[in-house]
């Protein structure tokens, strides 16, 4: 590689990473938009349900992936 090409390579690599990040975030946002109720903090979910008096029990018809 020519020494003068190095900054360009670094720049392009960073640009690609940035682009990939934007695409990944868009995919994640679209996924979340289509799946209302998505949360990560399960204890918070349980607390919310408990506070509202909503009980839960194991459902039928599901499988682990």
Partner 1 sequence: MSTVVECTLCPRRCKLIDGQRGDCRVRINLEGKLQTLVFGNPCSVHIDPIEKKPFYHVLPGTRSFSIATAGCNLHCKYCQNWQISQMPPEELENYDLVPASVVEKALATNCRTIAYTYSDPVVFFEYTLETSKIARPRGILNILRTGAYIEEEPLRELLEHVDAINVDFKGITEEFYQGMSGGHLEPVLKAMKLIQKQGVWLELTNLIIPTWNDKDGDIKLLCRWIMDHLGPNVPLHFSRFWPQHQLKNLPPTPEETIIRARQIALQTGIRHTYVGNLPEDDGNHTYCPEDGTLLIRRVGYDVLENNLSDGRCPKCNAKIPGLWI
Closest CA to 56 of 36, 48, 38: 48
Query: Number of residues in contact with partner 1, rule: CB under 8 A?
Result: 28
What is the C-alpha to C-alpha distance for residues 31 and 29, in angstroms, rounded to an integer? 5
**C-alpha atoms less than 13 angstroms from C-alpha of 65 in its C-beta half-sphere:** 0
- Binding status of residue 7 toward partner 1 by CB under 8 A: no
Give the footprint of partner 1 on residues 28-57 (CB under 8 A).
34-42, 45-46, 48-49, 51-57
Q: Which of 1, 3, 7, 59 binds partner 1 (CB under 8 A)?
A: 59
Could you list the residues that contact partner 1 (CB under 8 A)?
Answer: 34-42, 45-46, 48-49, 51-65
């Amino acid at each position: 590689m020519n020494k003068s090409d190095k900054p360009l390579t670094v720049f392009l690599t960073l640009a690609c990473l940035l682009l990939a990040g934007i695409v990944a975030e868009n995919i994640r946002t679209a996924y979340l938009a289509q799946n209302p109720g998505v949360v990560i903090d399960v204890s918070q979910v349980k607390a919310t349900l408990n506070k509202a008096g909503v009980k839960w029990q194991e459902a039928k018809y599901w499988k682990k992936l």
